A and B are shown apart, each in its own frame.
Chain A
Amino acid sequence: EAQVTQNPRYLITVTGKKLTVTCSQNMNHEYMSWYRQDPGLGLRQIYYSMNVEVTDKGDVPEGYKVSRKEKRNFPLILESPSPNQTSLYFCASRWTSGSTTDTQYFGPGTRLTVL
């Protein structure tokens, strides 16, 4: 079954405590992204990766890091989380042809609360 998995699904942490949210896809997609979703603001891209070892900033990259050492994995790292990073996070993957037939698959989401 084609899927994107994320872990953990729920996380409550404290300011400054480093955390990593893992993301893995089994579709051999080149393109992977991280988004955060906040009420009224929609999905905003944090970082994306076009392929292994190729990552770039999205619209809201401050306070986040990513890495792409393997094609299937794209972890999101918060080195020093702050309360304004409390949000719902989605990982996603897709092909990069840009065609109308490309479907972007999303992981189930990680609900993060930073106290």
Chain B
Amino acid sequence: RKEVEQDPGPFNVPEGATVAFNCTYSNSASQSFFWYRQDCRKEPKLLMSVYSSGNEDGRFTAQLNRASQYISLLIRDSKLSDSATYLCVVNNPNDYKLSFGAGTTVTVRA
């Protein structure tokens, strides 16, 4: 079983729509969770950290469900510039290693 699994998509949505997707992780001891954004074969960049109580950053909302071992990302009022691949990232507590999902592709159309 992969350490981090994501629905690859693509999620093809019109501008202004809401899109949400999840990722699951296998290590129940994981402590830190992140969403990174990657544009077409460029370097990944941190979008937001995910806190236990859930957190919001503008149009982006991240949720953590420890019982079911998944995190989610919701994008409201999608913009064309939100088109990207979103990487789910989990920090393993013992060796500081970050495990990456393969990414969920979102395409926002005009």
Contacts and interface: CB of A to CB of B under 8 A. Distances in A.
Interface of A: 31, 33, 35, 40-45, 48, 50, 58, 88, 90, 96, 98-104, 106-109, 111
Contact of A98 (B44, B50, B96): B96
Contact of B44 (A44, A58, A102, A106): A106
A45 B43 contact: no
Interface string B2-38: 0010001000000000000000000000011110000
Contacts of A48: 97
Contacts, number: 54
Please classify how large the interface on chain B is, using the bins under 10, 10 to 19, 20 to 34, 35 or more: 20 to 34
A88 B38 CA distance: 13
Given A44-B100, A50-B96, 16 more contacts: A42-B4, A42-B87, A42-B100, A42-B101, A43-B44, A45-B97, A58-B97, A96-B96, A98-B32, A100-B33, A100-B50, A102-B91, A103-B46, A108-B42, A109-B42, A111-B41
